[in-house]
Amino acid sequence: MSRTARLFQLMQALRSLPPPATAGRLAEEMCVSQRTIYRDIDSLRGLGAVIDGEAGFGYTLIEDASLPPLGFEGDELEALVLGLREVMAVGDPALAKAADGALSKLRARLPEGQAHRLRHAVLTASRFNPPPAPTVDAHELRCAAWEERRVRFDYADAVGAKTQREVDPLSIVYMQMSHCLLAWCHLRADFRAFRLDRMQNLSVLEQSFRPRRVAMLRDYLAQMRAQSPDKRC
């Protein structure tokens, strides 16, 4: 790991771990020695991060120089907490981790009064019956959609019939009972929605459909609004 990457990782650990984070805990989190932690703490301070604490007592990130000043109204903070905790409750593992990291960054950067309100927000989100977990790598699928690259996967429909599909991925929709990929299906030559928990053996292909994703998604959403019930695969 490069020194720059290690410093970024240390900043994230300081944002995420309950303060004060001891050098031993930070070293365990990052798989480095405590001596490296002490040296990197000094480097971060030299770069402008305000980190309270010292060896033997632990460290608390007071001001994060890598984030610009932020200011939110009370209801804006509640909305952010609610949205991020909803993602943590229903998102795939990579997205849930990203939401937790974003919440930690906000908490580290906000003034103490707003950080207190963030930590003790009135609103929260919980799911007693979360959607089924995706059976493919949802992060890889999101990247393919963003890069506008065709994907291939095995798919089982509602009655268990299996097909192999090649599709142009357009968007992932987090619905009440499932996560669905909206896509152009080359097998059916039409738009289709695919549940992520019925997909297997995802492969990202070399074929690109750039720059048509936004226009195709707009057309599909218009078609869905016009249909009742929505078209299923």
Written as one string, the DSSP assignment of 95-108 is: HHHHHHHHHHHHHH
Taking 80 as the threshold, does the pLDDT of residue 144 lie above it?
yes
State the average pLDDT for the chain: 88
Q: Where are the alpha helices (DSSP H) in the chain?
A: 3-16, 23-30, 34-46, 74-90, 93-109, 112-119, 138-147, 213-226
Read off the pLDDT of residues 42-53 as tens digits, 9 standing for 90 and up. Answer: 998 888 888 988
What is the spatial order of strands in the sheet that 162-174 belongs to? 190-195, 179-185, 162-174, 149-156, 199-208
pLDDT at 179 over 60: yes
* pLDDT at residue number 115: 82
Q: Which residues contact 176 (CB under 8 A, 6 or more apart)?
A: 131
> What is the pLDDT at residue 23?
94
Q: How many Å separate Cα 159 from the centre of its chain? A: 31
- The percent of residues in the chain predicted with pLDDT above 90, rounded, is 50
Residue 201's pLDDT is: 98
What band does 107 get if pLDDT is binned at 50, 70 and 90? confident
Query: Above pLDDT 70, what percent of the chain?
Result: 93
Ramachandran area for residue 13 (φ above 0: left; ψ -120 to 50: alpha; else beta): alpha
Q: What is the pLDDT of residues 80-98, one digit of tens each?
A: 889 999 998 888 888 999 9
Span of 102-116, 153-167, 174-188 with lowest mean pLDDT: 102-116
pLDDT at 15: 84
- Local confidence band at 3 (pLDDT 50, 70, 90 cut-offs): confident
Q: Which of the residue ranges 96-100, 127-131, 132-136 would you say has the lowest mean pLDDT?
A: 127-131
Task: Centre a 10 Å sphere on the Cβ of residue 177 and count the other Cβ atoms it contains.
Answer: 10
